[in-house]
Amino acid sequence: MAIHIGKYGFDFTHKEYRGDISKINYNKNFPYSLPFKKGQSYMVSQGYDGAFSHKNINALDFDMPEGTPVVAIRGGVVVKVEDSFDKQGETEDFAQYSNYIIVSHPDGTFARYAHFKNKSAKVKAGDFVTTSTVLALSGNTGMTTGPHLHLEVYIPKPSETIYVKTKFKLGRGFVSLFLKEKQKAIRGY
């Protein structure tokens, strides 16, 4: 924003960051829960550093029919909810129309869940969530080629976002592994 009055001027720049941007340590081995309910299984359609839209990003896409309840992968506090969009397309200009929820975790990491169905959020900013809390319903908003859930865990920094590879509890929850593209993830816990 710039205001100029005669010879004088005023210039103001503002940047906003969520979380502690000086934090560098986090629990690299934390066993995250899968983002869907017990007894369900979904294919990882795009993995870490995927070819379509995950280039240089540690993010996962789960093939999920529209309207599937999405649960938090870890307990924390909801810091942002965008729930107003109903547009979808395959080009980058549609990226701005993705509905999403961001949750802050106790170790300074954040999870961003994206492409939710329009007006399906079940939480609001400030809500505390657990791994059984339904956040919203999966959808097909923003830059997508079809219904799915986009999920990323990250650490915010002033000059970049550090995307974190995460281990997920599989099967009955006793084993935690990094998920791979085309892998079916089964939640039995």
pLDDT at 87 over 60: yes
How are the residues of the chain apportioned to helix, strand and coil, as percentages rounded to the nearest 5? 5, 40, 55
State the CB neighbour count (10 A cutoff) for residue 67.
11
Q: Is 97 helix (H, G, I), strand (E, B) or coil?
A: helix
95 domain-assigned: yes
Domain span at residue 83?
64-168
Closest CA to 35 of 175, 155, 152, 140: 152
DSSP β-bridge partners for residue 176: 169
Q: Is residue 20 part of a domain?
A: no
Sign of the C-alpha dihedral, residues 79, 127, 147, 185?
positive
17 within some domain: no
Query: In terms of residues, how long is the chain?
Result: 189
**Residues contacting residue 136 through CB under 8 Å, at least 6 positions apart:** 70, 83, 99, 101, 113, 116, 117, 120, 121, 122, 123
Q: What is the pLDDT of residue 7?
A: 67
What is d(CA 34, CA 131) in angstroms, rounded to the nearest whole number? 9
Give the separation between CA 40 and CA 38, rounded to whole angstroms: 6
Contact 60, 70 (CB under 8 A): no
Residue 161 placed within a domain: yes
* Among the listed residues 144, 135, 155, 177, the one whose alpha carbon sits nearest the alpha carbon of residue 62: 144
User: Which residue bears the tokens 């379509």?
Assistant: 52
Q: For all residues of the chain together, what is the average pLDDT? A: 89
Query: Bridge-partner residues for 113, per DSSP?
Result: 101, 151
Q: In the prediction, which pLDDT does 106 show?
A: 93
Mean predicted confidence (pLDDT) in 145-169: 92
More confident residue, 159 or 115: 115
Give the residue-averaged pLDDT of 89-116: 95
For residue 138, what is the domain's CATH number? 2.70.70.10
For 31-69, the pLDDT digits (tens) are 999 999 999 999 999 988 766 666 678 999 999 999 999
Q: How many structural domains compose the chain?
A: 1
Residue 22 belongs to some domain of the structure: no
Look at residue 10 and tell me if it is in a domain. Answer: no
The three-class DSSP label of residue 91 is: coil
Q: Is residue 6 part of a domain?
A: no
